[in-house]
Chains A and B, each alone.
With several copies, the nearest count.
Chain A
């Protein structure tokens, strides 16, 4: 590999911006830079990297067909926080429901991110606005919600009596109530 071509290759590699032949010449004294660029461009044809010209400036870039390799997604299973679970339950039992109503039912304010998490999970969606002062957004559950929780429809949600029978409506014991109060809305 000829010295000029090597030099141009190194200069372009280390540069933080695309360079014009004149700028390259500031680093590489003498020689036919245009020819060296042409040689290099050809040499990299078919590589995972290519040398490209854009508006008279040259730079290396990864081959476009390999762009997908540079991004990698990782799925991380995450458990829904208690606040988000309560919020989801309220939406499911009362939909369509406004944020203020959710807070009234929970008895605790909900933080900004809570509904966002439910939307990101694909379990809650906005469902228009209530025609009342301020026209607040309404929230409802999605088909994905029904699927994830194994429900044929919202009518399959256990009723209050079912919950009572299952012991899920028993008054809190004091200790738990206290820990709830002090924890507030944790997410």
Chain B
């Protein structure tokens, strides 16, 4: 719909189909209505503008709810503004109705200014429409040449790495002090003679500062104790899982 035609010609003709689809929000509609007063935006009659807006909304034939919400909120606010402007001035009101009206005017002026600015921008001598850049520029070329860098150290280290990576792997198990099973059986059997009552298995392990050896000795002594128990030479007792394991000579 051509707005100018609408306002200049038909006025609020009932035959016209009015809808909100053509407006970019309530402020846009207000601005167009304000323009129809044909005075400077700062001189417009806010009361008349409010009337125009409310009348337009009433006459709008098809109101689609999803787009109407903003317009209705604005209508409510304008109705409030109108009543404030008509009622006797309440000196306590803050902001005052005049202040509210001024703010509305300012908002319309801002939108109007930006709308004009947009139009003036689009009307400038634009590249590709009014002025033209060179059609076939040769172009400036940037040739990148890489100067590769490396150092002797990196070269040798790389070769070392390759060699190390592909060297056949040799596995050497380092010597470790262990207590052999035979030794443990002999030791446990020998010490069992002195064990009158239950003794913890740890008591059969020789004291050692070498933790690895101590572990090995404990493991071997345990297996030795199992073997001696199988032979019926000692008894084993344990109250529960992980409880101390105790040993005594068979009765």
- Which residues of chain B (138-183) have a CB below 8 Å from chain A? 138-152, 154-167, 169
* B114 contacts partner chain A, Cβ-Cβ < 8 Å: yes
Which residues in B have their C-beta under 8 angstroms from that of A167?
106
Which residues in B have their C-beta under 8 angstroms from that of A85?
118-119, 121-122, 150, 154-155, 158
Which residues in A have their C-beta under 8 angstroms from that of B140?
11, 14-16, 27, 70-72
Which residues in B have their C-beta under 8 angstroms from that of A14?
132-135, 137-140
Q: Are B164 and A16 in contact (CB under 8 A)?
A: no
* A157 contacts partner chain B, Cβ-Cβ < 8 Å: yes
Which residues in A have their C-beta under 8 angstroms from that of B142?
72-74
Q: Are A89 and B27 in contact (CB under 8 A)?
A: no
Q: Are B152 and A149 in contact (CB under 8 A)?
A: yes
Q: When chains A and B are docked, how far (Å) is the Cα of A92 from the Cα of B118?
A: 9
- Which residues of chain B (100-123) have a CB below 8 Å from chain A? 103, 106-107, 109-111, 113-122
CB closest residue in chain B, given A180: B165
One of A37-45, A103-111, A127-135 contacting the partner: A103-111
Contact for A149 among B115, B124, B146, B157, CB less than 8 A: B124
CB closest residue in chain B, given A157: B117
Q: Are A89 and B145 in contact (CB under 8 A)?
A: no
* A178 contacts partner chain B, Cβ-Cβ < 8 Å: no
CB closest residue in chain A, given B77: A179
Chain B contributes a number of interface residues (CB within 8 A of A) equal to 66
Which residues in A have their C-beta under 8 angstroms from that of B103?
173, 176
Q: When chains A and B are docked, how far (Å) is the Cα of A59 from the Cα of B122?
A: 21
Q: Are A63 and B131 in contact (CB under 8 A)?
A: yes
CB closest residue in chain B, given A16: B135
* B66 contacts partner chain A, Cβ-Cβ < 8 Å: no
Which residues in B have their C-beta under 8 angstroms from that of A79?
148-150
* A143 contacts partner chain B, Cβ-Cβ < 8 Å: no
* A76 contacts partner chain B, Cβ-Cβ < 8 Å: yes
Q: Are A172 and B164 in contact (CB under 8 A)?
A: yes
Contact for B131 among A72, A82, A150, A177, CB less than 8 A: A150
Smallest CB separation, B166 vs chain A (Å): 5
CB closest residue in chain A, given B119: A85
Q: When chains A and B are docked, how far (Å) is the Cα of A171 from the Cα of B160?
A: 9
Which residues in A have their C-beta under 8 angstroms from that of B107?
105, 107, 176
* A170 contacts partner chain B, Cβ-Cβ < 8 Å: yes
Q: Are B156 and A77 in contact (CB under 8 A)?
A: no
* B251 contacts partner chain A, Cβ-Cβ < 8 Å: no
* B92 contacts partner chain A, Cβ-Cβ < 8 Å: no
Q: Could you list 30 A-B pairs, sorted by A, with CB under 8 Å? A: A13-B134, A13-B138, A27-B140, A61-B132, A62-B138, A64-B125, A70-B132, A71-B141, A76-B126, A78-B146, A80-B154, A92-B159, A93-B113, A105-B162, A106-B114, A108-B26, A117-B148, A121-B146, A123-B148, A147-B127, A148-B126, A149-B126, A150-B152, A159-B117, A163-B163, A166-B113, A168-B159, A169-B167, A170-B160, A171-B169
The 8 closest A-B pairs by CB, nearest first: A107-B27, A108-B25, A168-B160, A121-B148, A89-B159, A89-B118, A77-B128, A14-B132
Known contacts A13-B132, A16-B140, A88-B150; 10 further A-B pairs (Cβ under 8 A): A14-B132, A14-B138, A60-B133, A63-B131, A71-B141, A74-B142, A76-B122, A89-B118, A90-B162, A123-B148
